[in-house]
Amino acid sequence: MRVLRLFIILFVAFRFGLDEFLLGHERVKPLRILVQRLAFWRRLPEPRAVRLRKALENLGPIFVKLGQVLSTRRDLLPADIADELAKLQDRVPPFPSEQVIATLEQVYRRPLGEVFAEFDPNPVASASVAQVHVARLPDGTEAAVKVLRPGIAPVIRNDLALMYSAAWLIQTLWKEGKRLKPREVIGEFERHLHEELDLMLEAANASQLRRNFAGSALLRVPEVYWDWCASEVMVMERMHGTPISQVSTLRAQGIDIPELARNGVEIFFMQVFRDGFFHGDMHPGNILVDREGHYIALDFGIMGTLTDVDKNYLAQNFLAFFRRDYRRVAHAHLEAGWVPPDTRVDEFENAIRAVCEPVFDKPLKEISFGRVLLRLFQTSRRFYVEIQPQLVLLQKTLLNIEGLGRDLDPELDLWTTAKPYLERWMSDQVGWRAFARHVLEEAPHWGVMLPQLPRLLHRSLGQDDSETLRQQLAVVATQQRRQTRWIAGLSLLLIALLAAELVRLLT
């Protein structure tokens, strides 16, 4: 099976002339000459990026998803290839209803008629990993049932094995192979696929996003019906709306399109800067709009998270960019360990200045966040910057949001719309409010550890053996759970009162 699949992949690659990606190294020059002579009949009038996209589409849904992931890695790929791969869409025929029913009855261990009051065997949406059907729960509630494609796991496993082999060849034979880090990219792709293969993870993502926007007048997220969910099935509230790409229909419904565009930007920045948890696949196919103008989010297989470290990095860089302090941007990268330690800060600073200065001299509404990020990634490539996967996903999502917003309202001023959220977030991250919040967060730990410090110091002064000191630290860490609570509680109360008073004075 794997040998046959390998033959098909090689045939498709040869048909679309992808050998030019693999046979550029001098060590395989004889093989390159042989391939060129065997392919004398082949005509390749289309650019390499178009041929690569068509080859991935011919190889099937897993390779299409790989191309979609690769399109986000603009820090690694040439611009022409990244732009072309961004056009890839899942165009997968649905699998037979008999397989759907068999999967559901295997999961629920009873006839389908005993699970749902109604079930439509014809899917309303179909993608590479799963498809969606409409149903009614026993109490009459409308539901959307997402069912995993049967037999998809072994297909993915075989294709991934071949992808890893191809990655090794690319890294070995192509002069750009080592810089592109193909094995790391395939590893990132594998992680995304495994997350999408467990629909309980997607259900948990949807539940978290719904909780984050509970009571919101901007975004609606379907409720998850947990009693009907499993790894192969996700059942959620059915949402009714118009695809956001159908602008003329939305306008006919009386939706304020410019306001809709601004609300999309607001939703994105709330997810990123308020919650640190954002929808990582917000293309038009995953967004509906109801008749009241609320956004409806769908498909929660890819979600991004940002740690406090990520937010601190972003805060420093945003502040430095707004102040045109490019040296601080360069130092932030160096301090984070994202550029080699021997990087010359002045050269890195000059490269960043060359990207940003022409941008800041334009009116704000003419500035593209996405394009600035793309040019920064291209600059980063020259200085061997280690791009973090979660920030690449953030960049991809920002590009989607910006493109969507400008399609809705060409006059959208993304920076002005985003500015209040950025300012509030940066104040929370690096200002006095952040200091007060961190004091409150750390107070319980201080309350427990402070009473231990005199005894720890006394013992350490009498010990020369560092191993003994480490053992003492371990003993203290164990004993702190058993100590009486009144000293800790008193310390915590005092610290909390001081912090609360500080917050009151600042506000």
Q: Residues with Cβ < 8 Å from 34, sequence gap 6 or more?
A: none
Residues 349 and 330 sit within 8 Å (Cβ to Cβ): yes
Tokens for 104, please give them. Answer: 């559901």
Residues 449 and 440 sit within 8 Å (Cβ to Cβ): no
Q: What is the dihedral of CA 332, 334, 337, 339, to 10 degrees?
A: 120
Beta strands in 238-384 (DSSP E): 242-243, 277-279, 287-289, 295-297, 303-305
Structure-token match 């056009």, residue found = 87
Give the DSSP per-residue string, 156-183.
HHHHHHHHHHHHHHHHHHSTTHHHH-HH
Tokens for 324, please give them. Answer: 């045109």
Residues 149 and 128 sit within 8 Å (Cβ to Cβ): yes
Report d(CA 327, CA 72) in Å as an integer: 27
Report d(CA 496, CA 444) in Å as an integer: 9
Say which of 75, 159, 281, 299 is annotated catalytic: 281
Signed CA dihedral, 355, 360, 361, 362: sign only: positive
Structure-token match 């060590």, residue found = 27
Phi and psi, residue 246, nearest 5°: -90, 70
HEC assignment per residue over 71-119: HCCCCCCCHHHHHHHCCCCCCCCCCCHHHHHHHHHHHHCCCHHHCCCEE
Q: Is 83 a catalytic residue?
A: no
DSSP letter assigned to residue 222 = P
The residues annotated as belonging to the active site are 281
